[in-house]
Amino acid sequence: MIQLQHIRKVFNAGLPNEYVAIHDLSLNIAPHQVTVLTGPSGSGKTTVLSLLGCMARPTAGRIMLQDREITSLPERFLTQIRRSTFGFIFQQFNLIRGISVLENVMLPAYPLGEPLGGLKKRALKLLDLLNLTSKGAAKVEWLSGGEAQRTAIARALVNDPGVIIADEPTAHLDTGLSREFLDIMGDFKGQGKTILIASHDPMVHESEIVDRVVKMRDGRIIDAGVI
């Protein structure tokens, strides 16, 4: 479904602190599966996720999304693809402080300009699904770690994306909450969503919902795992 073909990513190209984060990396992501990227810190997991999710462009190589070459698309189109295809869950949750949980969840849909009624209904349904109904009006800074995580998941899902991308989702969670997160991801996998996770948490690799573990080191894949 998503293919990385001979990707190379260089940061600060041409400057003294030039750094090659990804070397000639090729990877095929299968649809409706849970794929986990793992490897030591600095190995390039986050970089690969951001390339897959159209957050950044590769220095060289091509990215295909459902047989469409997206590497050379202008920013506007990339944003549209990102909005409709990918839902992001960040390591730091990245919720917007000072506004309510419900507003945070609806935020990615604002640029689409759909009627408020429908949007609100969808957001409330997601809150219900993630056990956050009672927190809808709460400000996000009052939330516990697990609630903030679930709010971030709800936000990632509000535009009903086909692909969920999560970067170190369990880094700030205890065992119980990590398990809960994996269960939620399992449910979404059951609904046919494609899930990409970067994590060096053994609990994630060993989870039964994971179909494939890709091991990375120094910007290269050292074990592509079984598909």
Partner 1 sequence: MIKAIDKQRYILDFTLSSLWRRKGKNLALVLVYTLVVFVLGSVMFFTQALKNEAALVLRGSPEIIVQKMVAGRHDLIPVSHGAQIGKIRGVKAVKARFWGYYYDPGAQANYTLMVPEDLPLKDQEIIVGAGISRVRRLFRGSSIVFRTYDGKPATFFIKGVLSPDSELLSSDLILISVPGFTRVFGVPPDRATDLTVQVANRKEIPTIAAKIVDALPDTRAITREEILRTYDAVFDWRGGIMIAILAGAVLAFLIFAWDKAAGLSAEEKREIGILKAIGWETADVLEMKFWEGLVVSLSSFFLGIILAYGHIFYASATLFEPVLKGWAVLYPEFRLTPFISGYQIAILFFFTVIPYTVATIIPSWRAATIDPDAVMRT
Ligand X SMILES: Nc1ncnc2c1ncn2[C@@H]1O[C@H](COP(=O)(O)OP(=O)(O)OP(=O)(O)O)[C@@H](O)[C@H]1O
- Name the residues that contact ligand X, by CB under 6 A: 11-12, 19, 21, 39, 41-47
Asked if 88 interacts with partner 1 (CB under 8 A), we say yes
Smallest gap from residue 152 Cβ to ligand X (A): 17
Pairwise CA distance, residues 224 & 112, whole Å = 37
Q: Which does 44 bind (CB under 5 to 8 A by kind): Mg ion, ligand X, partner 1, none?
A: ligand X
Pairwise CA distance, residues 23 & 9, whole Å = 7
Q: Please say whether the beta carbons of 202 and 40 come within 8 A.
A: no
* Total of chain residues touching partner 1, rule CB under 8 A: 36
Smallest gap from residue 30 Cβ to ligand X (A): 22
Smallest gap from residue 46 Cβ to ligand X (A): 3
Asked if 75 interacts with partner 1 (CB under 8 A), we say yes
Question: Shortest CA distance to 199 belongs to which of 188, 214, 185?
Answer: 214
Tokens 């609904």, residue located: 191
* Kind and range of the H or E run holding 153: helix 145-157
Give the CA radius of gyration of the chain. Answer: 18
List the one residue from 43, 63, 82, 169 that touches partner 1 (CB under 8 A).
82
Smallest gap from residue 50 Cβ to Mg ion (A): 9
Binding mask 12-51 for Mg ion (x = CB under 5 A): ----------------------------------x-----
Asked if 201 interacts with partner 1 (CB under 8 A), we say no
Smallest gap from residue 35 Cβ to Mg ion (A): 16
**Rounded to 5°, angle at Cα 124 from 150 and 147:** 20
Smallest gap from residue 46 Cβ to Mg ion (A): 3
Nearer to ligand X by Cβ, of 37 and 153: the residue is 37
The edge-to-edge listing of strands for the beta sheet with 19-29 is 19-29, 2-11, 60-65, 68-69
Pairwise CA distance, residues 202 & 212, whole Å = 13
Binding mask 102-121 for partner 1 (x = CB under 8 A): -x---xx-xxxxxxx-----
59-74 as b/e: b if 16+ CB within 10 A: eebebebeeeebbebe
Asked if 194 interacts with Mg ion (CB under 5 A), we say no
Which residues are at the interface with Mg ion (CB under 5 A)? 46
